[in-house]
C-alpha cells in the first residue's frame, strides 16, 4: 500500500494533467514525488528511461506524458502522434515491469472507443468497431498502452491500471488556437473577441455534436484514488456522466467571459464524432466522484487563463 513517503514518479508532471496530479498528491501529504522535464529525460529514449527507473526505483509510476492535440493537430501530424506516444508509454511500461515496480497508472483518452459505439461508452466497447479517423493515430497508441498494462496484469499479476478520461480542461491547459482542444480554444477566442470590441466569433462545425467535459482536478482525484487503492479491473472510464452540445458549451463560455458579439458557425469545418459520453459508473461505484460542475470549472479555468494570458500573447493567433 502507498503511504506519504512512497516514491511516486509522475511522467509529464509539467503538463495540465501531470501538474494537477502533483497538486492533488501534495495536498494529500505525499512528500516524495519525482518529476523530470523533457529536457532532463527524453521519454522517447528507451535506454534513458531504463536508466532513470533503475536509479530512482519509484514505488508508483503515473504516466501522464503524451503528445496531445485537437482534430487539426492530429490530422496534420499522424506519424508523431502515433509513434511518439507509443515510444513514451512503451518505454515507461516496460521499464516499470523490468524494474519490478508493482503499481503503474496509465492515462489515456475517450478517443480509444469506436466512433459510432453505443452511448454512453462502456469499457467493454473497446475494439468493437472502427475509430474516429481524425484522431485514430493517437487512439491506436493509447489502445496499445491499455493492452500492454492489461497483459502485464494478466500475466504477472501486477497492479497496472488504465484510466480513460473524457475531454479534460483546467489550469495549465493549452490555449494555442492551432493545437488546442475545443474548450480552451473557445475561452481564448471569446476573451480576445471581447477585448476587440466584441468582434464576432467563428467556431468550427454545426455546434450539434455532444461532448462531456471533466475538470482536470477531478481526474487528479481519480488518479489519487487509484494510487491509494487496488482497483479490481484493468480499465476505468473517468467522466462526469453528463454532456452538452458544442453550441451549449460555446454559450456557457460566452456568458462567463462576457462577450456580447455574434457567434458564427462554420459548417465547412468538420464536427468530429457526433457524441462521446462515457459511462464512468464502474469507477464511481468504487468510491470516486467528480466535484466540479461545467460552469464552476469554466470559471476556474478562465480565471487561471486571465492570470497567465501574457504567455499566450506570444503565440500567433
The residues, any chain, with a CB within 8 Å of residue 186's CB and separated by 6 or more, are: 203, 249, 250, 253
Annotated binding residue 165: yes
The three grid cell numbers given for residue 60, joined into one nine-digit string = 508508483
What is the maximum alpha-carbon separation in the chain?
61
Single out the catalytic residue among 9, 138, 169, 302: 138
* Residue 274: CB atoms within 10 Å: 12
Annotated binding residue 271: yes
Residue 79, classed as helix, strand or coil, is helix
The residues, any chain, with a CB within 8 Å of residue 216's CB and separated by 6 or more, are: 16, 17, 20, 168, 169, 170, 171, 172, 173
Annotated binding residue 107: yes
Annotated binding residue 72: no
Which residue has cell 499479476? 157
* b/e per residue 143-164 (b: at least 16 CB within 10 A): bbbbbbbbebbeeeebbbbbbb
Annotated binding residue 3: no
Please provide the distance, in angstroms rounded to a whole number, between the alpha carbons at the two ends of the chain. Answer: 48
Q: Are 12 and 39 in contact (CB under 8 A)?
A: no
Annotated binding residue 83: no
Q: What is the DSSP letter of 222?
A: H
Annotated binding residue 299: no
Annotated binding residue 224: no
Annotated binding residue 69: no
Q: What is the DSSP letter of 199?
A: -
Annotated binding residue 191: no
Annotated binding residue 166: yes
Q: Are 25 and 115 in contact (CB under 8 A)?
A: no
Annotated binding residue 75: no
Annotated binding residue 211: yes
Annotated binding residue 108: yes
Q: Are 110 and 166 in contact (CB under 8 A)?
A: yes
Examine the residue annotation and report whether 30 is marked as an active-site residue of this protein. no
Nearest CA to 211 among 235, 185, 178, 175?
185
Annotated binding residue 205: no
Annotated binding-site residues read: 12-18, 107-110, 142, 165-168, 181, 189, 204, 211, 271
Q: Residue positions in the annotated binding site for substrate?
A: 189, 204, 211, 271
Residues noted as catalytic: 138
Query: Which residues belong to the annotated binding site for NADP(+)?
Result: 12-18, 107-110, 142, 165-168, 181
Amino acid at each position: 500500500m502507498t503511504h506519504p513517503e512512497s516514491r511516486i514518479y509522475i511522467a509529464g508532471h509539467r503538463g495540465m494533467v501531470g501538474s494537477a496530479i502533483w497538486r492533488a498528491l501534495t495536498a494529500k501529504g505525499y512528500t516524495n514525488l519525482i518529476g523530470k522535464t523533457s529536457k532532463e529525460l527524453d521519454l522517447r529514449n528507451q535506454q534513458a528511461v531504463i536508466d532513470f527507473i533503475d536509479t530512482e526505483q519509484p514505488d508508483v509510476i503515473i504516466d501522464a506524458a503524451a503528445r496531445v492535440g485537437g482534430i487539426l493537430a492530429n490530422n496534420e501530424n499522424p506519424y508523431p502522434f502515433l509513434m511518439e506516444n507509443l515510444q513514451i508509454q512503451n518505454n515507461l511500461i516496460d521499464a516499470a515491469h523490468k524494474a519490478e515496480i508493482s503499481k503503474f497508472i496509465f492515462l489515456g483518452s475517450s478517443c480509444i472507443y469506436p466512433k459510432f459505439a453505443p452511448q454512453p461508452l462502456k469499457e467493454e466497447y473497446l475494439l468493437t468497431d472502427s475509430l474516429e479517423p481524425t484522431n485514430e493515430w493517437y487512439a491506436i497508441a493509447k489502445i496499445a498502452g491499455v493492452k500492454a498494462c492489461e497483459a502485464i496484469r494478466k500475466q504477472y499479476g501486477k497492479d497496472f491500471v488504465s484510466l480513460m478520461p473524457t475531454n479534460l480542461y483546467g489550469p495549465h491547459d493549452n490555449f494555442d488556437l492551432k493545437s488546442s482542444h475545443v474548450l480552451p480554444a473557445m475561452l481564448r477566442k471569446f476573451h480576445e473577441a471581447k477585448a476587440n470590441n466584441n468582434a464576432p466569433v467563428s467556431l468550427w462545425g454545426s455546434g450539434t455534436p455532444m461532448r462531456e467535459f471533466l475538470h482536470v482536478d477531478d481526474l487528479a482525484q481519480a488518479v489519487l484514488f487509484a494510487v491509494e487503492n487496488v482497483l479490481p479491473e484493468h480499465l476505468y472510464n473517468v467522466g462526469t456522466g453528463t454532456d452538452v452540445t458544442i453550441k451549449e458549451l460555446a454559450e456557457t463560455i460566452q456568458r462567463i467571459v462576457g462577450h456580447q458579439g455574434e457567434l458564427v458557425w462554420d459548417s465547412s469545418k468538420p464536427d468530429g464524432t457526433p457524441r462521446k459520453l462515457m459511462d464512468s459508473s464502474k469507477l464511481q461505484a468504487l468510491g470516486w466522484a467528480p466535484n466540479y460542475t461545467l460552469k464552476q470549472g469554466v470559471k476556474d479555468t478562465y480565471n487561471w487563463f486571465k492570470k497567465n494570458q501574457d504567455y499566450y500573447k506570444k503565440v500567433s493567433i
